[in-house]
Structure 1
């Protein structure tokens, strides 16, 4: 039987995130114990218990992936949360950085200046203070914030150097959930700066900078991947089909 599925080449940022194989393979290669619960969610924890990764397709919550770094004495150091639609290759890149020696305990982004320099160096367009807000952003840059976009505005990012759960601004979906620990990085993907959000990610203030950089490099990769056209949202189909 011939497969007549119509395919469409799209950038990696619009690749399917529902198949976790590549990301779970990183955990398996690191020899972390993994268990599947009765709902078929997958939970993995570093042997010392200090780093948890959950793939939660049947959890009923807002996040498909949750990563949590905890202290030996208890309490959360940082969390990273990824909605459905986040490419599995990007989650794999993030986890690969964490499973490297000392990866989960690496230095975080120091401040706004460091975030600004990192993003400009990686090809992001960073909003300059005193200039009008961009399409899709409610506000311009403040001294405690970096706003950036990539490519044609499909990727919108905010970095915050202020301890506030409501300071991310309107770059994500209206119902974007709050993370369990103070967020610093918030990233939204859409088909164009004013399009509806395809996926959403939040990474805590102390998330290692190398892991953040690996994730951002993966979602901004220029590679194209083939996806069944009927699995794409209408805005993505109009853009690339």
Structure 2
């Protein structure tokens, strides 16, 4: 019984390590889902151009690749939650120390990218109409245009298709009519934001935008007044 406090401390430290790893996996899965949504938008945009110049196209290969990626993510997500639901029992080595477990947890975590500064983006000062389709919780205090800007600042190198932006701002729970209305609103704000130099349209695509201007990749900034 004299070893009980030390064993309890070791087990608690080991449990904390797995909790930290689970948090990191959740962050990685969230990033992967976001990238898949963005790639879906890009595939849709580039596919339209591909159909214009190659009627037979290469859409079958794109569709099969997309299906494979979606299936792989589903399996990864399922395995992750199955592992999280199962009890993990490990035997602590007699040479282990209390400080070793927390240190390994820290080294296993990938460095998180710094959060962008959005302090200059103003919040709404008026209430939305009751009939307005609600944005996700993290965007509810902002206008649609400013919500798009926040989304892009968190992903400054991503090329966003308008459909992906709608899903990122409103979620996946919209019905067909709601999605149509939300897409019209987002499309209008994207055009307005392009004129205001908040972001740029990606060339040779339909409805694809990105935060940063790239010569030969995005449209030229509009001339100043």
**TM-score tier (shorter):** under 0.3
Write 1 or 2 for the structure with the bigger share of helix.
2
Write 1 or 2 for the structure with the bigger share of strand.
1
Q: TM-score, normalising length from structure 2?
A: 0.27
